[in-house]
């Protein structure tokens, strides 16, 4: 009995250290339980991604669940050798686009989200954080996404290029433009001016890009 327990613990340990790709192959071969390890690794980053992108915590929660359901459903389409991180973000983007296709979003953004937990700091920093958050949220989602991916999800530019289906140079240019826009929004907010509205129907400009084998 004890030996069995030890073997199980060792197995758990090995699983916790295994690369994502190996775990995903196990999931692909029918081990649903292994998906739990991948869930532990990715559900918080994905939640943060959706939450920063949409400003809606409930929706973000739903979308994270949807991503893992899709992984189960389409696990056969995972090709060995595909970087798992790229694959899961691809699914995540598609899940969001499909969601907006089904439920067109409200254009006005005044989120009914629970305020995020702010770091306990000086009043000035708190204000700055709030302004920054707003400045980010005022950007069109397409530009915000590239910032979120590079700054918060810490994806390399190469990964982002692959994800968005564009050239590396394009990613860099778009990042730079997004930073400039964020900076301008932030300055305007600091001066107490409302910046121009983010255009509606942003999602049209973000076509989902699917891998050849489709998911």
Partner 1 sequence: MKCEEIAELLPDYLQGSLKAPQDHLVEQHIEECADCREDVTIWKKLSLLPSEQPGAGSRERFEAMLDAYQTGRNEKPSADREKRRSVWNWLRSPAGAVAWSAALLVIGIFAGNYLGSKTTHSNTGQDEIAAMHTELTNMKQLVVLSMLQQQSASERLQAVSYSRREDQLDPQVMSALVHTLRYDGSVDVRLAALDALSRHGGQPQVHKGVVDALQEQQSPLVQVALIDLMVEWRDPDTAQRLRNFAQTPNLNPTVRQRADWALSKLN
Query: Which residues contact partner 1 (rule: CB under 8 A)?
Result: 32-33, 35-36, 39, 43-44, 47-48, 51-52, 57, 60-61, 64-65, 68-69, 72-77, 102, 116-119, 125, 128-129, 132-133, 136, 147, 150-152, 156-157, 171-173, 175-176, 179-180, 182-183, 186-187, 213-215
Closer to partner 1 at the Cβ: 95 or 202? 95
DSSP for residue 181:
H
Closer to partner 1 at the Cβ: 68 or 84? 68
The encoded tokens of residue 206 equal 């973000």
Distances (CA, A) of 97 to 75, 90, 136, 148, 205: 20, 11, 20, 16, 11
Closer to partner 1 at the Cβ: 10 or 127? 127
Closer to partner 1 at the Cβ: 6 or 168? 168
CA atoms within 13 A on the CB side of 195: 22
DSSP for residue 202:
G
> Is the Cβ–Cβ distance between 146 and 174 less than 8 Å?
yes
Instruction: Write down the least CB distance from residue 191 to partner 1, Å.
Output: 14
Instruction: Write down the least CB distance from residue 1 to partner 1, Å.
Output: 26
Instruction: Write down the least CB distance from residue 185 to partner 1, Å.
Output: 9
> Is the Cβ–Cβ distance between 59 and 50 less than 8 Å?
yes
Helix 157-164 to helix 84-102 angle (10° resolution) is 40
Instruction: Write down the least CB distance from residue 195 to partner 1, Å.
Output: 14
Instruction: Write down the least CB distance from residue 9 to partner 1, Å.
Output: 20
The tokens 């989902």 sit on which residue?
A: 208
Closer to partner 1 at the Cβ: 146 or 202? 146
Q: Which long-range contacts (CB under 8 A, 24 or more apart) does 185-193 make?
A: 185/134, 185/135, 185/136, 185/138, 185/139, 186/131, 186/132, 186/135, 189/131, 189/134, 189/135, 190/131
Instruction: Write down the least CB distance from residue 198 to partner 1, Å.
Output: 17
Closer to partner 1 at the Cβ: 72 or 201? 72
d(CA 137, CA 15): 38
């Amino acid at each position: 009995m004890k030996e069995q327990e030890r073997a199980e613990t060792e197995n758990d340990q090995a699983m916790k250290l295994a690369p994502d790709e190996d775990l995903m192959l196990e999931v692909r071969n029918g081990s649903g339980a292994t998906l739990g390890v991948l869930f532990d690794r990715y559900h918080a980053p994905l939640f943060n991604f959706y939450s920063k992108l949409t400003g809606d915590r409930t929706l973000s929660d739903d979308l994270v669940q949807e991503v893992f359901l899709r992984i189960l459903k389409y696990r056969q389409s995972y090709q060995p050798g595909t970087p798992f991180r790229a694959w899961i973000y691809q699914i995540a983007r598609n899940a969001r686009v499909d969601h907006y296709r089904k439920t067109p979003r409200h254009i006005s953004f005044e989120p009914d989200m629970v305020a995020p937990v702010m770091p306990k700091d000086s009043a000035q920093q708190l204000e700055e954080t709030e302004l920054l958050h707003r400045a980010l949220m005022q950007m069109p989602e397409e530009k915000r996404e590239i910032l979120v991916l590079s700054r918060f999800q810490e994806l390399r530019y190469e990964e982002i290029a692959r994800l968005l289906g564009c050239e590396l140079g394009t990613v860099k240019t778009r990042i730079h433009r997004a930073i400039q826009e964020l900076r301008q929004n932030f300055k305007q907010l600091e001066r107490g001016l409302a910046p121009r509205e983010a255009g509606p129907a942003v999602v049209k400009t973000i076509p989902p890009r699917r891998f050849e084998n489709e998911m």
